[in-house]
Amino acid sequence: MADKDGRIARRQRPSFLGYPVSIFFIVVNEFCERFSYYGMKAVLVLYFKYFIGWDNDLSTTIYHTFVALCYLTPIMGAIIADSWLGKFKTIVYLSVVYTFGQVIMAVSSIHDITDSDKDGVPDNMTLHVALSMLGLILIALGTGGIKPCVAAFGGDQFEDHQEKQRSTFFSIFYLSINAGSLLSTLITPILRSQECGIYSKRSCFPLAFGVPAALMVVALIVFISGHSMYIMESPKGNILLKVMKCIAFALNNRFNHRGRQFPRRRHWMDWAEERYDKLLIAQVKMVLKVLFLYIPLPMFWALFDQQGSRWTLQATTMDANFGAFVIQPDQMQIVNPILIVIMVPIMDSAVYPLIKLCRINFTPLRRMTVGMLLAALAFVAAALLQIQIDRTMPKFPSSSQTQVKFLNMENTSLPVLVEGQEQFVVPGFNASNDYMTLDNITNVAVSVGGRNKTAYFLKERRHTVLINADGIIKTLFDATEKPSLGMNGIRFVNGFRTRLNITEKSDELGFLSPLEGSRYLMVHHGKVEFTIWNEDGQNCTYIMQLGFGSSYTLLIPSTFIFGQNCGDTIKAVQDIEPNSIHIAWQIIQYFLMTCGEVVFSVTGLDFSYAQAPSNMKSVLQAGWLLTVAVGNIIVLIVAEAGSLPDQWAEYLLFASLLVAVSIVFAIMAYFFTYTDPAEIESKFIELEPEDEKKKGLEMMMKDNVAYVQSENTDFKQTKI
């Protein structure tokens, strides 16, 4: 049975310290859901690149397509909740969809389910891609659909006289959002960095996705557990639909009366007067005025959301060792929420008051312009950092090139002459200084110690040629890309007289015959111990201290002797240098982006609230979320259509576009006239009959309260 306000009839409900017990179920649900979403999202782009095997551009495209969908579906969720199911059922049903999506994502990352040959690489990648895409679609429908419902549903649990408790609830609700985000961004990359598998070990994406899936199951169970204690309002209709119908009618009516015989009206929305009252039309005009200002805003989000894609991929090419601890590349995203918590009170209590003391009229729209410029500056910093990273990256052969170096298996130096090149000398038990690049050549005459032979090389490949006094022994194919996720590629060449086996923890290379090279073994940074065995059971331990992203060839020479100092005779030849630019340099761009976010996003939400009619706050919230979606669509268009050869150039392109958009926005802001929606509404209400006036005031108050409930968590943060 429902009361006159559409609420389910109330009874004495349990409370704790003056708060309804039901809100604790909602807060725990929100914490678990945010942990689930941000945990999965933190490792998503690395999953695309290193598990699915997509390149940087496609990984970025799919990542931003997913984020865009997450910000398009809230409109659907709000309409379903307000017009059909109500908030509780909408949250439950879409949370079930959400949970299935997370579980499917976890299953899609289990490589063993299609790894029939047990080599660690899925044999049917199409199945994994299909499962992951299905999972992401369900997650987007779930997380976006419940986004506009949960906070408002929590606000519904309070009586009209509990305004203080309601305000405290939204502070706690905000804290749960940030706590879930911070913890998940810290924990899931650690889970991802572990190795797991039944037959072979790989980065543990099943665990990184499985824990968020488990948290979503907990969120659903906790939320349903409080069912008997909730106050639930019946659906009353969605104001967004009403606004859209009003606009559609005005456009259609204007089109039908486009002849000169029809008198002009002051505003095109005035053509809706035949069906809608003047108050609603005036409110829609105010909304459209603000929405017009939203047109340039997607460009800010196009840059902002690349923290989880391009910037994370950039972090994989950097040195993440802080001495006492190591940061995973996908953990760097945690810098943003940490700085948000620090910067918001600093801006509110220090920076803005100081600007006011200097008598600078720092209006909301000027703040937003500065925020956009700071975001552009963050991408300039990212571009400068990328230039430094590129200088340290190896130059791999192009489609018309091949690269060669020579490894001397003898203890004495050997002269080498390659056709068309100058002669050089390769020291004993060592390699030539660097790779020799040959253009448009595959068959090359090579002289080693006076012995001539034609060598065959492949284009776009790197080669190590094993040589001794008899000439060329054999050719090995080298790595043509940096090891992924800061791992290190290590291989062995057996120059000893007998077969040798090499192990590292549980990984075994198998026995190598004399003058044979092994495959690359992927090992983590830090201290690594290799054990070398012969067939008689003798062993030797060789220890290396490794950085991030390097590749080495270890030569076991003919002079190798088992014993305490056996490792001293092994020669390490560097194929790819380790990452040398420290990941801490990214803090500069994160700091600039966070400062931009604080003065842009928080101010933008506050400005929208102040300029919106009292019953149409939710319409502007929908418009705000739409700008985030469009911003992510811009990124995927640039990532797919862009033909810039260097990543730093793309960063500068985005920065330039945002600067240009900021100038346009500044011009629009200059001509914008601030209004008082309450004053305008009061003028129209005074002209209405008493009954209609009372009804209009009641409706505006209800919609206003509902919006405050859903928005209180957003004015001080952007993780919505």
Neighbour tally for 577: CB within 10 Å:
14
Dihedral of CA atoms 326, 63, 391, 417 in degrees, nearest 10, equals 100
pLDDT above 70: percentage of residues in the chain: 92
b/e per residue 263-292 (b: at least 16 CB within 10 A):
eeeeeebbbbeeebeebbbbbbbbbbebbe
pLDDT, average across residues 270-296: 87
Position 588 scores a pLDDT of: 96
611 pLDDT more than 90: no
pLDDT above 90: percentage of residues in the chain: 51
Yes or no: say if 341 and 334 are a contact pair by the CB < 8 Å rule: no
Position 12 scores a pLDDT of: 60
Which of 11-20, 418-427, 500-509, 597-606 shows the lowest mean pLDDT across its residues? 11-20
Rounded CA-CA distance 670/51 in Å is 49
Answer with the residue of higher pLDDT: 274 or 297.
Answer: 297
Position 711 scores a pLDDT of: 35
Kindly indicate the confidence band of residue 715, based on its pLDDT and cuts at 50, 70 and 90.
Answer: very low
Rounded CA-CA distance 59/639 in Å is 9
Which of 213-227, 239-253, 380-394, 458-472 shows the lowest mean pLDDT across its residues? 239-253
Kindly indicate the confidence band of residue 191, based on its pLDDT and cuts at 50, 70 and 90.
Answer: very high
Read off the pLDDT of residues 631-642 as tens digits, 9 standing for 90 and up. 999 998 887 776
Position 264 scores a pLDDT of: 85
Position 697 scores a pLDDT of: 45
Yes or no: say if 445 and 419 are a contact pair by the CB < 8 Å rule: yes
Kindly indicate the confidence band of residue 702, based on its pLDDT and cuts at 50, 70 and 90.
Answer: very low
Answer with the residue of higher pLDDT: 16 or 674.
Answer: 674
Average pLDDT, the chain: 86
b/e per residue 238-261 (b: at least 16 CB within 10 A):
bbbebbeebbebbeebbeeeeeee
Read off the pLDDT of residues 409-444 as tens digits, 9 standing for 90 and up. 999 999 999 988 899 999 999 998 889 999 988 889
Rounded CA-CA distance 283/295 in Å is 19
Residue 272 CB partners (closer than 8 Å, separation 6+):
246, 247, 249, 250, 253, 281, 284
Position 689 scores a pLDDT of: 56
Kindly indicate the confidence band of residue 607, based on its pLDDT and cuts at 50, 70 and 90.
Answer: confident
Nearest Cα residue to 240 out of 75, 117, 99, 390:
75
Kindly indicate the confidence band of residue 591, based on its pLDDT and cuts at 50, 70 and 90.
Answer: very high
Read off the pLDDT of residues 315-367 as tens digits, 9 standing for 90 and up. 999 999 998 889 999 999 999 888 988 888 888 888 888 998 988 888 889 99
Kindly indicate the confidence band of residue 303, based on its pLDDT and cuts at 50, 70 and 90.
Answer: very high
Read off the pLDDT of residues 115-171 as tens digits, 9 standing for 90 and up. 888 877 888 999 999 999 999 999 999 999 998 888 878 878 887 777 778 777 877
Query: What's the token pair of residue 673?
Result: 């006239």
Position 161 scores a pLDDT of: 77
Yes or no: say if 161 and 15 are a contact pair by the CB < 8 Å rule: no
Neighbour tally for 227: CB within 10 Å:
12
Read off the pLDDT of residues 513-572 as tens digits, 9 standing for 90 and up. 999 999 999 898 999 999 999 988 888 899 999 999 999 999 999 999 888 778 888 999
211 pLDDT more than 90: yes
Position 642 scores a pLDDT of: 66
Global confidence as pTM = 0.85
The angle, 0 to 180 degrees and rounded to 10, between the axes of the packed helices 647-670 and 364-392 is 170
Read off the pLDDT of residues 51-86 as tens digits, 9 standing for 90 and up. 999 988 899 999 999 999 999 998 888 888 888 888
Which of 267-276, 449-458, 705-714 shows the lowest mean pLDDT across its residues? 705-714
Alpha helices in 194-293 (DSSP H): 205-225, 239-256, 278-293
Read off the pLDDT of residues 16-57 as tens digits, 9 standing for 90 and up. 777 888 889 999 999 999 999 999 999 999 999 999 999 888
- Strand ranges of the sheet holding 507-512, from the earlier edge strand across to the other edge: 507-512, 500-504, 526-534, 539-546
Query: What's the token pair of residue 524?
Result: 């983590």
Yes or no: say if 49 and 55 are a contact pair by the CB < 8 Å rule: yes
Position 490 scores a pLDDT of: 94
What DSSP letter does each residue of 5-22 carry, written as one string? TSBBPP----EETTEETH
Read off the pLDDT of residues 365-379 as tens digits, 9 standing for 90 and up. 999 999 999 999 999
Position 719 scores a pLDDT of: 47
What DSSP letter does each residue of 442-497 carry, written as one string? SEEEEEETTEEEEEE--TT-EEEEEEETTEEEEEEEEP-SPPGGG-EEEEEEE-SS
Position 594 scores a pLDDT of: 93
Position 8 scores a pLDDT of: 45
